[in-house]
Chain A
């Protein structure tokens, strides 16, 4: 798994993990410094570390696999172009990347680009194990519920509960105060609760069995 799960017993994450390697905070700083100095190969390593997270964040905003792939590539190109100006100011590098992703997704929705149809199913990764039908239906319900939220609530839900970021990082990414973030997450959870309750009433036998 890529990073520590929200429900596990943990401190705030100080590690980044890819499939094969765990990076300590200090190692991330070293890689970032090399990338700032123009080391292309090191930036490629950072790409591998953060690709999944940025892709996931983008996917939950746009709900289309092809669009998420394209935007993710564009985000990393922007990151490369701007990395010379990055400074470690107490926020992790990931927060800086998410900020770029956040702004890029906003630009995407603002432009007159032709919007792709929403993916109705979670994209399948060939290496993932087969899901039980009922569990997958719940996953699909969550995805549909999140996709129906207003944009900012969707972002808070994604950053806080799917990407496991703390409020300070989210404050930096979204450019909102912590108070505003607290209120948004409350409203978002309440809205999700209502949507899921409505779906549960339609599909009660599935939830009861689980």
Chain B
């Protein structure tokens, strides 16, 4: 009977699939009707349930990731075949020609740029081929540490195709791969102190991690997709290398802060926040100093350097001595200093001046909505001034100032809640300062190499005064799109009270100066001055408009 029921059910399901009505099917099995009807009803309810689908973001990101991997594998297979052919006597010339022809094809073949450079230098085919297999690092002498800042992070160990859940604090060897989900952030810290932060949807491979000798290190990464933010410890040894390869380009740095973004079509964008970055592709190299960016399309040379787009919004936190500050953002990333001089910068695009300057200024471009924590660790007794400013298109839309009596060794936390929509600040709430207690909001990894170089932050000579008591008033200078402030430049500057600072705004071609915001002497004049007062932080912004817009008024 059960066999009859299962067969009858299967037959009815087949007939329903062809469009017959349920009743017609049940009529043919009257003795099984009372059993069949509920089962068919259940089958119909399942079939009418809406389909689960992957997110569009996953569709896009995963396809890009897959295609890059497949192209790389395909390239390796072709190169391996060439090597086999080249190993046969009399065929080396043919193999070279074929290989070089293959390199010339821009589509479907991902070739690290270092490969092309070696060819130009006349390297042997074998040496070239071995270097064309970047997933086979030459030496595994060092490791890096993974920090899971938020969300789910996965790793792939060398020789395995399986992805595993990353454990915060685990170490990885060269040959490992790390990827972040669409809602996660991760950090890799290398043994000499450099670090790289992975934004959501990022996939990178650690190709080489090697201490060449006591003083120089070799770090080579392959960024398949996504956005990373690197903080590279400056090394004196010219042999030291920190290199990131992408499907389109290669970025080589010595000591700097920079961002690399690899899009779905392998378009690579490199932005330098500090230091100098060399970007190479197709045998051409450009240098990106501070504030410059360049893009590289797949198979093309790097674009000319151009100024980085200024951030639409900025959160600026200034903290006066005797406090040493750090800021943690809603993603779990942190930027700032510790009292022993340890510096860290995990927030993409952020910068922090040293507390030793007397006033520490932390700037965070395009801050996201959520909870922030300003952590204060005090190195002496005194009063610490804390200022918060939210700039939107150069204008201060929110400010908050507070002064806190602190004692040496005390630790505090100030919570800040930001509501942001479409880049606009909706609301900002600053909570009451509270003792830090046992909390450790920052997720940082300290390496031996860095410990040797630390210089503790010195407390001010007099309680409540910064080490340099004369230049402790900050002036933040920014500009809108269409020009820049050339005197004294753009950024954060420190002056003594009473200083008269010259300001000169210069428009770009096709633009004209409109006005200043801030307490300048003449808002309408591109050349003006500002007198520094005892307000801890002043912000001035130069605004520009396209040349024809004023004619239309």
Contacts and interface: CB of A to CB of B under 8 A. Distances in A.
Interface of A: 1-2, 5-12, 38, 40-41, 43-44, 47-48, 51-52, 55-56, 59-60, 66, 68-70, 72-74, 76-77, 80, 111, 113-114, 116, 122-128, 131, 138-139, 142, 146, 157, 160-162, 164, 167, 179, 182-183, 185-186, 189-190, 192-193, 196
B206 to A, nearest CB: 19
17 contacts: A6-B43, A7-B44, A9-B19, A44-B63, A51-B54, A51-B62, A55-B54, A56-B53, A72-B54, A73-B62, A111-B162, A125-B53, A164-B47, A182-B6, A186-B6, A193-B39, A196-B42
Contacts of B49: 138-139, 142, 162
Nearest to B179: A70
Contacts of B154: 70
Nearest to A167: B10
A13 to B, nearest CB: 10
A56 B63 contact: no
A139 B533 CA distance: 64
A80 B70 contact: yes
Interface residues of B, number: 50
A52 B54 contact: yes
Nearest to A142: B49
Nearest to B62: A73
Nearest to B54: A55
Contacts of A162: 46-47, 49, 51
Contacts of A74: 161-163
Interface in B30-61: 38-39, 41-56, 58-59
A167 B7 CA distance: 12
Contact of A40 (B5, B39, B108): B108
A104 to B, nearest CB: 10
B9 A192 contact: no
Shortest 9 CB-CB contacts between residues of A and residues of B:
A9-B19, A6-B47, A182-B6, A161-B46, A55-B54, A189-B39, A186-B6, A40-B70, A182-B10
Nearest to B152: A66
A164 B71 CA distance: 33
B43 A189 contact: yes
B46 A69 contact: no
B476 interface: no
B52 A122 contact: yes
A9 to B, nearest CB: 3
B52 A59 contact: yes
Nearest to B109: A40
A11 B10 contact: no
B9 A7 contact: no
Contact of A6 (B2, B17, B42): B17
A138 B54 CA distance: 20
Contact of A47 (B10, B48, B66, B71): B66
Contacts of A179: 6
A164 B41 CA distance: 16
A127 B55 CA distance: 9
Contacts of A192: 42, 46
Contacts of B45: 142, 196
